[in-house]
Amino acid sequence: MIRTIIKYPNSVLRKKCEEIKEVTPEIKELILNMVETAEKNQGIGLAASQVGELKRIIAVQTEQGKVVFINPKILRKTRETEIMEEGCLSFPGLFLKIKRAKGVEIEAVDLEGKKIQIKATGLTARVFQHEIDHLDGILFIDHVRILQRIKMLKYFIWH
Ligand code: ZN
């Protein structure tokens, strides 16, 4: 089922998501919905809070295909950063240059309930950081640098 994407400034986007204790059929259903919803909206990443579920789940399109992570955590970040333009399905039409770590190491639980660890760099690392932020109610506009604020304010005036 394709779900409606919650748009800013809906307060749900600012809430902290809860850890998943068990991968129940309901959780699997939610994951399926998230994958369908991300696909339909051509998103490369989606957090459960963006479909109104305060659960620690993210769906990310990587170079190796789609992955769904439960309770994802960033274990390590590279000190090296890079600035790239970023968007978010909860802010249609807004693209901002955001500085993030170039690489991350992530720990999460997969669909079978197994603990996994992966390393990512470049765009995939960026998407992971963006989506994991969502689980703590942190949005990409929170990372915006001073010169991009004008662009952001213009967006808020017209939307
Ligand atoms: Zn987002």
pTM: 0.95
Q: How far is the CA of 130 from the centre of ligand 1 (A)?
A: 6
Tokens, residue 24: 């129940």
Does 131 participate in catalysis according to the annotation? yes
Please answer whether residues 59 and 38 qualify as being in contact, where contact means their C-beta atoms are separated by less than 8 angstroms.
yes
Lateral strand order in the sheet of 65-77:
45-47, 57-62, 65-77, 103-109, 115-121
| Entry field: residues in the chain | 159
Which residues are found with C-beta within 5 Å of the ion, ligand 1? 88
In a structure prediction context, what are the per-residue pLDDT tens digits for the chain, which is 159 residues long? 999 999 999 999 999 999 999 999 999 999 999 999 999 999 999 999 999 999 999 999 998 899 999 999 999 999 999 999 999 999 999 999 999 999 999 999 998 999 999 999 999 999 999 999 999 999 999 998 877 788 888 888 877
For residue range 43-69, list pLDDT tens digits in order.
999 999 999 999 999 999 998 899 999
Please answer whether residues 56 and 47 qualify as being in contact, where contact means their C-beta atoms are separated by less than 8 angstroms.
no
